[in-house]
Structures are given as structure tokens and as C-alpha cells.
Amino acid sequence: MRRILNFIDGDYRDSARHFDDINPATGEKVAIVSEAGEADVADAVAAARAAMNGPWGDSTVEDRAALLHKVADGVIARLDDFVAAEMADTGKPLMPTKMGEIPRAAEQFRTFAEVGRMTPLESFETRLPDGGRAMNVAERTPKGVVAAICPWNLPFILMTWKVAPALICGNAVVVKPSEETPATAALLGEVMKAAGIPKGVYNVVHGFGPGSAGAFLTAHPDVDAITFTGETRTGEAIMKAAAVGIRDISLELGGKNAGILFADCDFEAAIRTEAMAAFFNCGQICLGNERLYVERAIYDRTVEAMTKAAKSFAPGDPMDKATRLGPLSSHGHRDKVLGYFKAARDAGAEVHAGGVIPDMPAPFDGGAWVEPTVWTGLAQKSVPVQEEVFGPVTHIMPFDDADEAIALANDSPYGLAGTIWTKDMSRAHHVASRRRVGALWVNSWMIRDLRTPFGGMKASGIGREGGAASLHFYSEIRNICTRL
């Protein structure tokens, strides 16, 4: 059986305890994972600190950018290994993993290398009362040891989204991948080593949250900053841990995003895109839409078209190039999603598509599959319309004017993202600026330029990452004032 080990101080290391890695497409065990104990986590943090005190701490952004490009090359050179590892952990279909997710993760190393190299800092010349001058120069220094706690839905992308900017800023990282998806973070250790990243700069500890590697890492006093992507409730626990010792924190949390469709929109494009926003990655995308508010004149057409689109996302063998829908990430997560299917039925939803487990042939009959699901008729305040399902679901509701649509879309504890569909650009801008979310797409969805700021409002998070915002989080900017 394949083993997935911790990566500490430049080498792979086993632990006393282990847990199983399950492929959710089949339910089969695919690997045995080392669960880092408190001492392993302490060793990883110590290795990171030692790296900061060594030549890495003295490196320039040019040095680090060159290394990050080598890491990107190394990921692409081993594309098939990363694709196989990610698919075994998640059950994701082949094509989006091979053509999208893994190359995109490699691209993040290149982009942040260039963002780091090219982003200038301010300087001010100051006139002094005695007629002399002083020069103020802002300088960027690393935060130090960064803990990166990562989720399972886009494991390699969301992990490298943290690691690449952390490294270009000169930090050392300790990554805690999700217990559901440990493989690609571990494999990246080989690439880091081959690329010449010094030992201790990139470390990986496996395990769970409370009482395990996640909590050991966030509580460790020698961690300088914590970056977390995951559920809002976990974010609250991590924020408490970060308060001890006043460590900086970046939280990318849950969402309950909404799309707004006006009757003048390009209907075909809207439906094609909103179907992706609801069902792509089996609905396990923080930026996906689980709510659609539709101008009454096109409501019936929208329900019909989204129902047809849901049925076109048929689940199938992830290795088949035509498969668009994989399973949910685990049986535990499927139980949660099935709970929302039941809650929707109990609350009087009309189920136009899905709401059930599909019949899958062997060996997929043991997997965590669900059918893409379309609901109507739920009350705005009902649980399935308010809570994040994180599955392939959409609830469609009519509205009569823009004010009503904005109020309904904003009626959520979350504020991550959303979409607006209209040909009237003035209206689009007006609606966009009144939405309480961190990212809005007009006549589109999920165009993610890595240079743009990304993050949520309300319960969807604190802080921004992406482009210069990432540099801001992963560095301390200090001012050096010299009397000339």
C-alpha cells in the first residue's frame, strides 16, 4: 500500500500514528498517511525557523523568483504524477484536473515570482525643520514561519496559492493539508527538493484539526502568521489560536453565493455559466453559486434550462475524458449534503433534478456520489437557502426589481462572491456596488486573475490574498528613515 509521509526539514518522515486515505470515487483505500504528532509539528516549525536563520533568510527576491520558476517547471515535468495523486484523493474527473487545476497551481509559482519581483514599494523624501532632508524607504521583510492550513476541495491550487506568495516574500512554511487530500502537498516536497529550495523552507505535516496536527500547528508559539482556507467555524477556532501571541491571520472561509439574472441577459451564456457555477467540481467550490435570483419574465425558462443542464452533468468514471462530474470528496461530506437534500424536501422544495444518490456501476458503487440538484419553492429564510451546502445544488427564486434582487442576494451571513447577468452595464455596476461580497462577476464567473485581490466579507473571511494583497499579508513592511 502506498504511504504518504510528512515532509520535514527536507526529508520524508513517518509518524507513530497513521490514517487511511480514501478515494471517494470508489470508497477504496488508496494510501496510508502518517499523522504528525505534536513533536513532529514542533520539528517542522523548528526546521522552518532554522531555514529563516540560514541563507534563505538572506536571499533576495531575485534568488527566490528563480527558484519558484524551477518549482513550476518541476510540477509540469511531473504533471501526470500530480494528476494521479489529486484524482486518487478527490475522485475529480481527469480533464479539469490535467488541463486546469495542476497546471494552474504551477502557474501560481510563476505569477507570484513575477508579482514579487515587480511590485515596487514607496519612498518619500522629507524636508526637515533645519533645512536638511531625510529619505524614507519602505522595505519588505518576511513574516517568518507561516502555517498554511488547507482544505480538500481544490487541494493543490489552494495550497500553492498560499505557498507561492509566502516563499517569494522569503518566509518558510509549514503546510497542513486536509486529512482528506494529503497526497499532492507531500509530492510537492520532492519537487521543492529537486528545484533547490533549501531544507526547512517547505514542510508538510499531515493530520486532522482539533487534537491533531492542525491544532498543534496553529497553537505553536514560534509560528508568526497563519493562513487558513476552510469552513467558517474552523476559521473561528483558528482565529482564537492566532490571538495567543498576537499572530497575523488570513481567513478564506465559506460562502453562500448568489447569481442575479435580469431578463435582458444573454440567456444561453448565463445558463451555460451558471450551470458550471452550481455543478462544477460537484459544487465544491467556495466561489460557486447555490442561489439564483431570476427576473420573473425569465423564471420559468431558467428553471427548465437549469434542470436540463443539471441532467447533463452526469456522474461517471473520472478517467473517462467525457466525464464532467466526480463524486463528493468523502462519505462524511456526502452525509452532510444528503442532510440538506432532506431538509429541502421537508421544507417543501420542489425538486426538479437530483436530490438523490445515483446508481453507479462497480467499482463506483462504493463512492460518495450525488446527483446535481435543482430546487425551487423554498423560503428565503429556510436552512438550505441560508446555509452553505458545498454540493451540486441550486435554488432558483423569482424577483420583480433590482432592489428586491439585491436585498435577497445580500440576505446571507456570508459575503464571498456572486454573479450578475444583464446587458445594461450601468445597471450591472449599480447592482455590483451594492452587493456585500468580495468578488463579483458581470456576465461571467470564475475568471480568476491571480494579480487581483481575493477574499470575502462578513462570515466569508478576513483579509485579501492575490497579487500585491498576498505580498502584503506574507511580509512585514517597515519604514527606514535616513537623515541625508
Tell me the longest C-alpha to C-alpha distance in the chain: 84
Could you say which of 86, 179, 180, 252 is catalytic? 252
Could you say which of 86, 265, 286, 465 is catalytic? 286
As a whole number of angstroms, the distance between CA 177 and CA 185 comes to: 7
Nearer to ligand NAD by Cβ, of 33 and 294: the residue is 33
Provide the Cα torsion 200, 20, 150, 282; round to 10°: 150
Per-residue binding string, ligand NAD, 173-212, x by CB under 6 A, is ---x-xx----------------------------xxx--
Nearer to ligand NAD by Cβ, of 26 and 234: the residue is 234
Segment interacting with ligand NAD (CB under 6 A) among 59-67, 232-240, 269-277, 315-323: 232-240
Nearer to ligand NAD by Cβ, of 178 and 373: the residue is 178
Nearer to ligand NAD by Cβ, of 354 and 461: the residue is 461
As a whole number of angstroms, the distance between CA 358 and CA 371 comes to: 6
Residue 38 annotated among the catalytic residues of the structure: no
Pairing of the two strands 17-23 and 28-35: antiparallel
Residue type, 302: T
Q: Does 237 sit near ligand NAD (CB under 6 A)?
A: yes
Q: How many residues bind ligand NAD (CB under 6 A)?
A: 32
Nearest Cα to 166, choosing from 477, 453, 464, 474?
Answer: 474
Nearer to ligand NAD by Cβ, of 170 and 438: the residue is 438
Nearer to ligand NAD by Cβ, of 218 and 475: the residue is 218
> Closest separation between CB of residue 140 and ligand NAD, Å?
24
Nearest Cα to 255, choosing from 442, 445, 413?
Answer: 413
Burial status of residue 118 (CB atoms within 10 A of its CB: 0-12, 13-18, 19 or more): exposed
Interface with ligand NAD (CB under 6 A), residue from 461, 463, 466, 467: 461
Q: Does 155 sit near ligand NAD (CB under 6 A)?
A: no
> Closest separation between CB of residue 467 and ligand NAD, Å?
15
> Closest separation between CB of residue 30 and ligand NAD, Å?
18
Segment interacting with ligand NAD (CB under 6 A) among 74-82, 247-255, 362-370, 470-478: 247-255
> Closest separation between CB of residue 290 and ligand NAD, Å?
10
Among positions 269-328, residues that touch ligand NAD (CB under 6 A) are 286
Residue 286 annotated among the catalytic residues of the structure: yes
Q: Does 416 sit near ligand NAD (CB under 6 A)?
A: yes
Q: Does 261 sit near ligand NAD (CB under 6 A)?
A: no
The binding site for ligand NAD (CB under 6 A) comprises 149-153, 158, 176, 178-179, 208-210, 214-215, 218, 229-231, 234, 237-238, 252-255, 286, 388, 390, 416, 456, 460-461
Catalytic positions, please?
Answer: 252, 286
